[in-house]
Amino acid sequence: MQEQEEAPAFLEESDIAVIVNGHSYERRVPVRQLLSDFLRHELHLTGTHVGCEHGVCGCCTVLLNGEAIRSCLMFAVQADGMAITTIEGMAGNNSDLHPIQQAFMEKHGLQCGFCTPGIIMTVHSMLRDNPNPTEEEIRHELSGNICRCTGYQNIVEAVKLAAERMRAFQSESEMD
């Protein structure tokens, strides 16, 4: 949205500019469009899943300026000028999986996979703030993401493995 010199008017549509996974997008959006629907329908980034659409299930979790949020509880127009990371932005350009994705694959941290993108984004922000979480902390931080298949055991195992590898990678980089 441009800087407004005049008193702001009420709008039904608005032009927005966002950076999603490092790419710039400019679109005109209806103001009532949810960020989750903008990502899926406008940008065709369908990795962000939509479950309950009232902030309970966690499937639509994305990073907004680095912080994990529910993309179903925010309008696309509100993301104007902000940077968003979705599950599509996790793997590197050379198609290597992110260590969190790799750990989920190896530890069978998913079955049907519907909740997985939201969980990966949550885990990403968790491990950034707390690189060495206890099992209790992992379970607490995951409490905002519902999985109906796994019983969570292997998700917790995957987070532990991802944390271990990311810490090892971090300390290697520090030694270099």
Partner 1 sequence: MKPPRFQYAAPRILDEAIALLDQHGEEAKVLAGGQSLVPLLNMRLAGPSYLVDINHISELHYIEPEDGYLAIGATVRQRQVEHSALVKDRLPLLIEVVQHIGHMQIRNRGTVVGSIAHADPAAELPALLTCLNGEVLAQSVKGERVIKAEEFFTGYLSTALEPGEMLTEVRFPWIPPRAGWAFLEFARRSGDYALVGAAAILTPDQDDRCMTAHIAYLGVAGSPIRARAVESVVIGTALDDVTRDRAAEISRSIVAEDMSDVHATTEYRRALTAELTRRVLKAAWDRRQS
Is 79 in contact with 89 (CB distance < 8 Å)?
no
Contact residue for partner 1 among 18, 45, 74, 87 (CB under 8 A): 74
- For partner 1, the closer of residues 31 and 97 by Cβ is 31
Taking the complex as a whole, the smallest distance from the CB of residue 48 to partner 1 amounts, in Å, to 13
- Going 43 to 115 to 170 to 140, the CA torsion angle's sign is positive
CA-to-CA distance for 161 and 107, rounded, in angstroms? 8
Which 8-state DSSP code applies to residue 82?
-
Encoded amino acid at 102, one letter = Q
Contact residue for partner 1 among 20, 77, 138, 166 (CB under 8 A): 77
Q: How would you classify residue 66: left for phi > 0, otherwise alpha for psi between -120 and 50, otherwise beta?
A: left
Give how far the C-alpha of residue 3 lies from the chain's centroid of Cα atoms, to the nearest Å: 29
List the x/- string, 92-131, binding to partner 1 by CB under 8 A. Answer: ------------------------------x--xx-----
Contact residue for partner 1 among 54, 93, 136, 174 (CB under 8 A): 54
Encoded amino acid at 134, one letter = T
Site for partner 1 in 130-169 (CB under 8 A): 140-141, 143-144
Q: What is the dihedral of CA 104, 117, 26, 43, to 10 degrees?
A: 110
Size of the site for partner 1 (CB under 8 A): 36
Which 8-state DSSP code applies to residue 89?
G
User: Is 68 near partner 1 (CB under 8 A)?
Assistant: yes
- For partner 1, the closer of residues 108 and 139 by Cβ is 139
Give every CB contact of residue 2 below 8 A, 6+ residues apart in sequence: none
- For partner 1, the closer of residues 21 and 78 by Cβ is 78
**Contact residues for partner 1, defined by CB under 8 A:** 1, 4, 7-12, 14, 31-32, 34, 37, 53-55, 58, 61, 64, 67-70, 72-75, 77-78, 122, 125-126, 140-141, 143-144
